[in-house]
């Protein structure tokens, strides 16, 4: 009963209960992820400016996450509804972040860190130590 | 798709294409069960995303409003270890996805191999995490009120609130208003680079002077005691750990002091007036007469008395150390440039010199230190700092206010993530056991698939945590 | 059996084992076995009906505990100053009343108890998708309940059920124990939500598309979405609170650099959808009750269905309206206030549709219907007063007054609890096999309605005049309102207590219930009373939703289907039963004859066709 690997049309193998990932796709995805990890570490050596650094890092992270979700988690070959479920969770989280940030931005200063004038370094006194 | 009879015999053979015995009664068939399980796990993963979301909210909020804390504090994190963990988790994601493929294709050996590799990678992750955490615990780089780093983010030593850092035993009382220490003892000299302390000097020397007190009667009949020096020795040694705490009686048959012995330690280092010069001495005078109890019943009583004596200190005063000796304390309130008596035979003299002007040396770091030390809050470096130098400068100094919040968020996020990795290990071990029994076939591999999906979410979260926490710049 | 399974499309439609018609019902499965076997049959059951029953017992017990705390609160407030207890104890009373009622009664109430018992049957399924997960949810609920209750002798809880920082960080009461309980209760809710979502997606029988589902199930679906997306945030919030208390991590503590208002954002991100988790199942139930007891299809079915889901989604956008005076920025205040107005729209759509259903209906004033009508009035009041609170300028005055207390009691108790009672009485015959005493039911329903209004209308008045909530002492000018409120509370409490008592008594003494006492048209009324293990002795017939044309009231509390099982009710409005069409004797025949497109597919059951007409009547009993 053991079936051999269907290399020829693995990407569209729907004969079983679900799509079977091909070795090629798995290795390619794994390899890309490791490569992108290297890229993201090396990118820290280059300074694009405080905000762009974050943007670049997050962009790479999102690409990695997309690879994991599409290929390792089979979402590319799965029912659309599963994508809907996952995306709605991300949207709910984004909503949470967005509204809370909108609120707190109104009453807290946003410091854009200026490397030429680093803020003073007060080191607070020891807080009251209770029990 | 052959339909499994709901009450089919639970045969001894598993997975021979006639339908798995693990298909439950209320399902039509294997596909119904698999599809339901798949939808179920995706909904569970959605809730996992929301579970972590609050921590991401906290992260984003704090980073948005206090980027200086993040840019300072992230240097405490070891990028190498973080990168290793990332690579390990990605590899384990690969093996988990491959395990699903093996289960789907009835490749039992491949399945067992992949599951084992996944577990191994997960354990590697946890081990690396253990090393990271234990280092932080050791250096007191912790969350909330326990944030008390012994080193700055640049790796330099710091004299911090409690100074409960490796190699030092200290109790210091602080003036919270002025953020200065007012009384207490230090176990050893810390290289303090707290730039709020004025008049920081660049080098000190400590000498142990052996001599004796001699009484002289002056011409008008007044008796004065003066210390006559017999020999002098520069002190550079450090008090070894075993001198602290209880020890067995020595050859003299007397019990030694219950709290540290005296040993002079000094390092040519930064020291400052009105500050505590941390040192201890050891020697015969440390010994306590057995049962005598001495002038003070306990170290705390000694310290209380000593604090009371603090008022007596002037820049050129002395304090009798013998009052502190029996069962005595680890250090003594010292004003440098003072001479202190210690018992009647040892005296510690500290002499500190002003540092050369930093501009002479071209060392912008020292220059900044000196300027801050001299009370100048604004920093006017001799030359324009490059971004890198500025970062290094920032890293060397003491942490900005509320740096503990970075570590609160760091420990909360990585801790919660680590707990999920641990759960994953248990789940995969359970899967491995079932796989060795041959439960998983092309008809029934749901548990492997669903656990792998969980594992991928765990990996996904780490993919975001790594740059957000470790790669800030 | 093989033939009927071959008819099913593999990916949808449940399989019913070949149980004989005389199979014992789910309550009597282990009759005759030794006591330990019978106990194990309950403790380790995988049957959703038994799990739901256990939930029901737990929830009714928690209702009594929470109600006792409420009566203690109201007794203390009879007079200003100390009446029976000190301030600190009073703080504990209202906190525990809130925490027990919200986490143990109202949030799990309709979904976990009644949803578990009835939803799969109403769906036509043999069980929920994940029966073991269902049992795990129940034990999580029990553990959470035990932890919450254990906190009481260890010092109780006095932070208010909202656990606001920084007081909850400093309170000497065992907040850690209570929050651990809440954490477990949260996961119980999440797993129930996952279970119900998958069941509704995957276990609908052939013939029941999304828009042939009863509205109760739409409501449970919408609730499950919220349970899954919102409750994890509660989980992480109480986890952070517990860790903060235990390890002083500082995330909510301003002295360590944290932000106490952040706690409120985290807390309300869950707790606002939570109130919709409470009310939407109630609305689903009311749709069923109003339709059945007006003998009319529900007006605007699609609108009600869409409004359930849109309410679930909109509920995530308005949490800031609990924080208008907590230091939230003006911008956020305005945004949340505007969004709060929109969230009232789906609820209003439903109320209009229910009232339109009543119009020209053949109204039967049975106890469940009395509760449903109470719901209509009380929910309207509750919903409208919510709008008042959503207006920024008004909320500044009304926040933390008794107006808010009255508002949320109108929606949580006057609506959800009343709907729960209505649902309990509606389905009681189905899952216990006994009728409750109707006269007593009506009296208690009236008592609940009267007592409830007497309790909370004075609270609206004194709240608008400035009486703050959670206060132990107050100005004498409010005393008359407090006294009226307390009297009402006791009337309400007694009515509820008597209700619970007669319900339990009916288990022994009640009339034996027929299969369909109310003439309901949804699938659960086709199941035996009480149902057997897999709910149906033969697969139920899916036909037009909310169509009562063919149901005849044979006698009081006994309805029967006039049309044959395999014929659409609309085809035989007033005629005698016709011989059945030769349907589905052969799988090949069924597939060869495509069903008409307008109606849902005819019988998926396989019956010997020749005996159809005579067997129909017996089959319905």
User: What confidence tens digit (pLDDT) does each residue in C393-430 have?
Assistant: 999 999 999 999 999 999 999 999 999 999 999 999 99
pLDDT at B268: 23
The pTM of the full predicted model, rounded to 2 decimals, is 0.77
- Residue C385 CA from chain centroid, whole number: 22
Radius of gyration of chain A (CA): 23
pLDDT at C24: 79
Evaluate if residue B364 carries a pLDDT over 60. no
Question: CB of C431 within 8 Å of any CB in chain A?
Answer: no
Question: Given an 8 Å threshold on Cβ–Cβ distance, is B31 in contact with C11?
Answer: yes
DSSP state of A14: -
| Residue corresponding to tokens 């001198």 | B243
The pLDDT-based confidence of B26 (bands split at 50, 70, 90) is confident
Q: Which of B321-335, B459-473, C606-620 has the lowest mean pLDDT?
A: B321-335
Question: Given an 8 Å threshold on Cβ–Cβ distance, is A106 in contact with C330?
Answer: yes
- Smallest Cβ–Cβ distance between C328 and the set A81, A92, A103 belongs to A103
Backbone angles phi, psi at B31, to 5 degrees: -70, -40
Contacts of C317 in chain A (CB under 8 A): 95
Question: Given an 8 Å threshold on Cβ–Cβ distance, is A18 in contact with B449?
Answer: yes
* Residues 207-246 in C contacting B (C-alpha not used; CB under 8 Å): 228-233, 235-237, 240, 243-244
The pLDDT-based confidence of B282 (bands split at 50, 70, 90) is very low
Q: Which residues contact C598 (CB under 8 A, 6 or more apart)?
A: none
Evaluate if residue B360 carries a pLDDT over 60. no
Evaluate if residue C278 carries a pLDDT over 80. yes
Contacts of B47 in chain A (CB under 8 A): 89
Question: CB of B390 within 8 Å of any CB in chain A?
Answer: yes
| Residue corresponding to tokens 């909108």 | A102
Residue B151 sits at the vertex; the CA angle it makes with B390 and B156, to the nearest 5 degrees, is 50
Decide: C565 and C616 in contact? Cβ < 8 Å.
yes
pLDDT at C429: 94
Alpha-carbon distance C162 to nearest alpha carbon in chain B (angstroms): 17
Q: Return the closest-CA partner of residue B329 out of B190, B209, B206, B187.
A: B187
Distance between CA atoms of residues C171 and C148, nearest Å: 16
Distance between CA atoms of residues A47 and A62, nearest Å: 20
Backbone angles phi, psi at B309, to 5 degrees: -75, -15
Tokens of C543: 């036909």
- Smallest Cβ–Cβ distance between B50 and the set C202, C232, C243 belongs to C232
Alpha-carbon distance B250 to nearest alpha carbon in chain A (angstroms): 38
* Residues 247-266 in C contacting B (C-alpha not used; CB under 8 Å): 247-251, 253, 256-259, 262, 265-266
Contacts of A81 in chain C (CB under 8 A): 201
Alpha-carbon distance B217 to nearest alpha carbon in chain C (angstroms): 59
pLDDT at C49: 94
3-class secondary structure, B328:
coil
pLDDT at C575: 42
| Residue corresponding to tokens 């033969």 | C538
DSSP state of B146: G
pLDDT at A110: 47
pLDDT at A120: 40
Evaluate if residue B205 carries a pLDDT over 80. no
pLDDT at C25: 83
- Mean pLDDT confidence for C116-143: 95
pLDDT at B280: 32
Distance between CA atoms of residues C225 and C221, nearest Å: 6
Question: CB of C327 within 8 Å of any CB in chain A?
Answer: yes
Question: Given an 8 Å threshold on Cβ–Cβ distance, is C17 in contact with B6?
Answer: yes
Distance between CA atoms of residues B274 and B336, nearest Å: 8
Among chain A residues, the shortest Cα distance to B93 is held by A72
3-class secondary structure, C194:
helix
Helix (H) / strand (E) element for C440: namely helix C438-464
Decide: C600 and C208 in contact? Cβ < 8 Å.
yes
Distance between CA atoms of residues B275 and A123, nearest Å: 17
Evaluate if residue A38 carries a pLDDT over 90. yes
Q: Which residues contact C548 (CB under 8 A, 6 or more apart)?
A: C292, C295, C296, C297, C519, C521, C569
Identity of the highest mean pLDDT range in B23-32, B46-55, B349-358: B46-55
- Mean pLDDT confidence for B382-405: 66
Question: Given an 8 Å threshold on Cβ–Cβ distance, is B36 in contact with C13?
Answer: no
pLDDT at A8: 42
The pLDDT-based confidence of C565 (bands split at 50, 70, 90) is low
- In order, the DSSP letters of B107-145 are -HHHHHHHHHHHHHHHHHHHHHHHHHHHHHHHTT--SGG
Question: CB of B94 within 8 Å of any CB in chain A?
Answer: yes
Percent of chain C with pLDDT over 90: 70
- Mean pLDDT confidence for C573-599: 42
Q: Which residues contact A72 (CB under 8 A, 6 or more apart)?
A: A21, A26, A29, B93, B94, B96, B97, B452, B456, B459
- In order, the DSSP letters of C345-385 are HHHHHHHHHHHHHHTT------HHHHHHHHHHHHHHHHHHH
Give residue-wise pLDDT tens across range B442-462: 889 999 999 999 999 999 999
- Mean pLDDT confidence for C179-207: 95
The alpha carbon dihedral of C445, C451, C456, C458 has a sign of: positive
Question: CB of B3 within 8 Å of any CB in chain A?
Answer: no
ipTM metric: 0.86
Distance between CA atoms of residues C278 and C408, nearest Å: 11
pLDDT at C339: 95
For chain B, the straight-line distance linking the first and the last C-alpha, in angstroms and rounded, comes to: 56
Distance between CA atoms of residues B472 and B461, nearest Å: 17
Contacts of A89 in chain C (CB under 8 A): 229
**Interhelix angle C260-294/C418-432, nearest 10 degrees:** 60
Question: CB of C328 within 8 Å of any CB in chain A?
Answer: yes
Distance between CA atoms of residues B344 and B285, nearest Å: 9
Backbone angles phi, psi at C4, to 5 degrees: -70, -35
Question: Given an 8 Å threshold on Cβ–Cβ distance, is A103 in contact with C320?
Answer: yes
Decide: B421 and B126 in contact? Cβ < 8 Å.
yes
- B partners (3+ CB pairs within 8 A) are A, C
Evaluate if residue A1 carries a pLDDT over 80. no
Q: Which residues contact C125 (CB under 8 A, 6 or more apart)?
A: B26, C14, C199, C203, C204, C205, C535
Let me know if B286 is exposed, middle or buried by CB neighbors in 10 A (0-12, 13-18, 19+). Answer: buried
Give residue-wise pLDDT tens across range C507-553: 999 999 988 999 999 999 988 888 988 888 777 888 788 888 878 88
- Mean pLDDT confidence for C56-64: 96
pLDDT at B225: 66
Within 10 angstroms of residue C2's Cβ, the number of other Cβ atoms is: 9
Tokens of B238: 């450090």
- C partners (3+ CB pairs within 8 A) are A, B
Distance between CA atoms of residues B37 and C201, nearest Å: 11
Question: Given an 8 Å threshold on Cβ–Cβ distance, is B412 in contact with C5?
Answer: no
Question: Given an 8 Å threshold on Cβ–Cβ distance, is B6 in contact with C11?
Answer: no
| Residue corresponding to tokens 């209760």 | C185
- In order, the DSSP letters of C514-549 are -S-SS---SGGGGS-SS-BTTS-SSPPPP--TT--T
Decide: C485 and C454 in contact? Cβ < 8 Å.
yes
Decide: C462 and C478 in contact? Cβ < 8 Å.
yes
The alpha carbon dihedral of C177, C180, C186, C191 has a sign of: negative
Q: Return the closest-CA partner of residue B50 out of B439, B445, B444, B416.
A: B416
- Mean pLDDT confidence for A12-22: 73
Distance between CA atoms of residues B213 and B224, nearest Å: 10
Contacts of A128 in chain C (CB under 8 A): 255
Question: Given an 8 Å threshold on Cβ–Cβ distance, is A103 in contact with C331?
Answer: yes
Average pLDDT, rounded, for chain B: 64
Distance between CA atoms of residues C261 and C259, nearest Å: 6
Decide: C284 and C215 in contact? Cβ < 8 Å.
yes
Alpha-carbon distance C55 to nearest alpha carbon in chain A (angstroms): 28
- Residue C112 CA from chain centroid, whole number: 7
Q: Which residues contact C255 (CB under 8 A, 6 or more apart)?
A: A127, A128
Decide: C536 and C135 in contact? Cβ < 8 Å.
no
Give residue-wise pLDDT tens across range B101-151: 999 999 999 999 999 999 999 999 999 999 999 989 887 788 887 887 777
Evaluate if residue B340 carries a pLDDT over 80. no
């Amino acid at each position: 009963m053991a079936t051999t690997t269907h290399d020829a049309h693995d990407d569209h193998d729907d004969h079983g209960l679900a799509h079977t990932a091909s070795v090629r796709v798995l290795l390619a995805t794994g390899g890309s992820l490791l490569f992108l990890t290297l890229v993201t570490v090396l990118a820290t050596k280059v300074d694009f400016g405080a905000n762009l650094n974050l943007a670049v890092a997050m962009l790479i992270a999102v690409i990695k996450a997309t690879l994991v979700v599409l290929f390792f988690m089979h979402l590319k070959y799965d029912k659309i509804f599963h994508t809907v479920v996952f995306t709605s969770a991300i949207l709910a989280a984004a909503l949470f972040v967005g509204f809370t940030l909108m609120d707190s931005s109104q009453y807290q200063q946003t410091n854009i860190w200026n490397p030429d004038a680093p803020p003073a370094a007060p080191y607070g006194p020891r807080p009251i130590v209770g029990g | 798709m052959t339909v499994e009879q709901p009450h089919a015999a639970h045969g001894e053979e598993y997975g021979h294409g006639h339908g798995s015995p693990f298909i439950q009664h209320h399902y039509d068939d294997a596909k119904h069960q698999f599809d339901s399980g798949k939808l179920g796990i995706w909904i569970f993963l959605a809730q996992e995303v929301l579970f972590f979301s609050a921590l991401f909210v906290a992260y984003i909020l704090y980073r948005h409003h206090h980027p200086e804390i993040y840019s300072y504090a992230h240097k405490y994190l070891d990028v190498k270890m973080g990168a290793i963990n990332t690579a390990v988790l990605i590899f384990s994601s690969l093996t988990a996805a491959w395990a699903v493929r093996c289960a789907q294709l009835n490749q039992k050996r491949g399945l067992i191999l992949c599951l084992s590799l996944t577990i191994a990678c997960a354990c590697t992750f946890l081990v690396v995490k253990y090393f990271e955490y234990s280092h932080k615990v050791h250096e007191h780089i912790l969350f909330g009120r326990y944030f008390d780093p012994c080193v700055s983010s640049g790796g330099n030593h710091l004299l911090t609130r409690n100074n409960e850092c490796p190699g030092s035993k200290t109790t210091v009382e602080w003036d919270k208003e002025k953020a200065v220490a007012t009384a207490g003892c230090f176990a050893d000299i810390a290289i303090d680079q707290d730039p709020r302390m004025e008049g920081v000097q660049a080098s000190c020397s400590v000498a142990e002077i052996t001599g004796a007190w001699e009484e002289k009667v002056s011409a008008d009949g007044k008796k004065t005691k003066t210390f006559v020096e017999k020999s002098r020795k520069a002190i550079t040694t450090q008090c070894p750990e075993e001198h602290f705490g209880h020890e067995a009686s020595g050859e003299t048959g007397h019990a030694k002091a219950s709290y540290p012995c005296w040993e002079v330690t000094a390092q040519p280092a930064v020291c400052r007036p009105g500050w505590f010069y941390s040192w201890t001495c050891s020697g015969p005078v440390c010994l306590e007469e057995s049962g005598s109890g001495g002038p003070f019943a306990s170290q705390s009583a000694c310290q209380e008395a000593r604090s009371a004596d603090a008022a007596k200190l002037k820049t050129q005063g002395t304090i009798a150390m013998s009052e502190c000796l029996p069962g005595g304390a680890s250090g003594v309130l010292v004003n440098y440039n003072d001479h202190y008596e210690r018992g009647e035979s040892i005296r510690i003299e500290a002499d500190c010199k002003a540092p050369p002007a930093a501009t002479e040396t071209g060392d912008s770091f020292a220059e900044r230190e000196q300027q801050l030390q001299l009370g100048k809050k604004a920093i006017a470096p001799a030359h324009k700092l490059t971004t890198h130098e500025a970062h290094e400068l920032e890293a060397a100094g003491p942490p900005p206010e509320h740096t503990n919040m970075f570590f609160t968020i760091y420990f909360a996020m990585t801790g919660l993530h680590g707990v999920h990795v641990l759960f994953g290990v248990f789940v995969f071990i359970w899967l491995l056991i079932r796989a060795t029994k041959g439960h998983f076939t092309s008809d029934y591999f749901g548990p492997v698939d669903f656990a792998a999906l969980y594992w991928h979410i765990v990996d996904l979260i780490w993919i975001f945590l790594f740059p957000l926490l470790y790669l800030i710049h | 059996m093989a033939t009927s399974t071959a008819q099913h499309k593999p990916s949808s439609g449940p399989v019913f084992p070949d149980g004989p018609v005389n199979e014992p019902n789910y309550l009597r499965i282990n009759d005759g076995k030794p006591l330990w076997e019978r106990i194990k049959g309950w403790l380790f059951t995988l049957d959703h009906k038994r799990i739901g029953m256990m939930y029901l017992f737990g929830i009714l017990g928690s209702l009594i505990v929470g109600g006792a705390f409420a009566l203690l609160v109201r007794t203390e407030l009879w007079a200003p100053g100390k009446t029976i207890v000190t301030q600190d104890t009073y703080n504990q009373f209202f906190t525990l009343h809130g925490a027990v009622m919200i986490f143990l009664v109202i949030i799990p109430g309709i979904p976990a108890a009644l949803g578990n018992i009835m939803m799969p049957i109403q769906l036509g399924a043999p069980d929920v998708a994940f029966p073991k997960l269902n049992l795990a949810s129940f034990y999580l609920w029990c553990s959470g309940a035990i932890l919450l209750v254990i906190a009481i002798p260890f010092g109780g809880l006095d932070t208010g059920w909202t656990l606001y920082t920084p007081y909850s960080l400093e309170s000497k009461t065992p907040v850690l124990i209570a929050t651990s309980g809440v954490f477990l209760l949260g996961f119980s809710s999440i797993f129930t939500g996952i279970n119900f979502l998958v069941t509704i997606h995957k276990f609908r029988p052939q013939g029941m598309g999304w828009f042939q589902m009863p509205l109760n199930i739409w409501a449970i679906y919408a609730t499950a979405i919220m349970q899954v997306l919102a409750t994890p945030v509660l989980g992480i919030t109480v986890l952070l609170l517990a860790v903060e208390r235990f390890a002083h991590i500082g995330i909510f503590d301003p002295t360590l650099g944290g932000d106490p208002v952040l706690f409120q954002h985290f807390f309300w991100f869950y707790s606002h959808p939570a109130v919709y988790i409470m009310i939407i199942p109630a609305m689903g139930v009311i749709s069923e009750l109003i339709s059945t007891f007006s003998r009319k299809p529900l007006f605007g079915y699609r609108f009600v269905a869409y409004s359930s889901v849109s309410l679930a989604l909109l509920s995530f956008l308005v949490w800031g309206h609990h924080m208008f005076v907590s230091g939230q920025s003006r911008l956020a205040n305005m945004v949340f206030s505007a969004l709060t107005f929109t969230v009232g729209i789906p609820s209003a759509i439903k109320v209009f549709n229910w009232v339109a259903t009543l119009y020209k209906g053949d109204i039967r004033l049975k106890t469940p219907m009395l509760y449903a009508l109470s719901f209509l009035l009380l929910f309207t009041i509750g919903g409208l007063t919510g709008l008042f609170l959503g207006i920024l300028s008004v909320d500044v005055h009304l926040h933390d007054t008794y107006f808010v207390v009255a508002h949320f009691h109108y929606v949580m108790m006057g609506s959800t609890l009343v709907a729960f009672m209505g649902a309990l009485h509606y389905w009681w015959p189905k899952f216990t096999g006994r009728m409750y005493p109707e006269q007593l039911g009506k009296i208690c329903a009236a008592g609940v309605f009267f007592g409830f209004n007497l309790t909370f209308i004075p609270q609206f008045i004194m709240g608008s005049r400035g009486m703050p909530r959670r206060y132990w002492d107050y100005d004498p000018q409010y005393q008359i309102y407090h006294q009226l409120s307390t009297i009402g509370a006791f009337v309400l409490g007694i009515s509820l207590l008597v209700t619970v008592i007669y319900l339990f008594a009916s288990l022994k003494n009640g009339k034996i219930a027929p299969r369909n006492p109310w003439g309901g048209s949804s699938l659960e009324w086709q199941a035996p009373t009480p149902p057997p293990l897999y709910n149906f002795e033969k697969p139920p017939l899916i036909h037009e939703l909310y169509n009562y044309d063919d149901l005849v009231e044979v006698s009081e509390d006994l309805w029967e289907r006039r049309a044959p099982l395999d014929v659409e009710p609309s085809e035989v409005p007033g005629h005698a039963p016709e011989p059945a069409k030769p349907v589905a004797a052969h799988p090949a025949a069924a597939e060869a004859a495509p069903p008409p497109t307008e109606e849902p597919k005819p019988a998926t059951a396989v019956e010997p066709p020749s005996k159809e007409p005579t067997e129909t009547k017996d089959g319905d009993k």
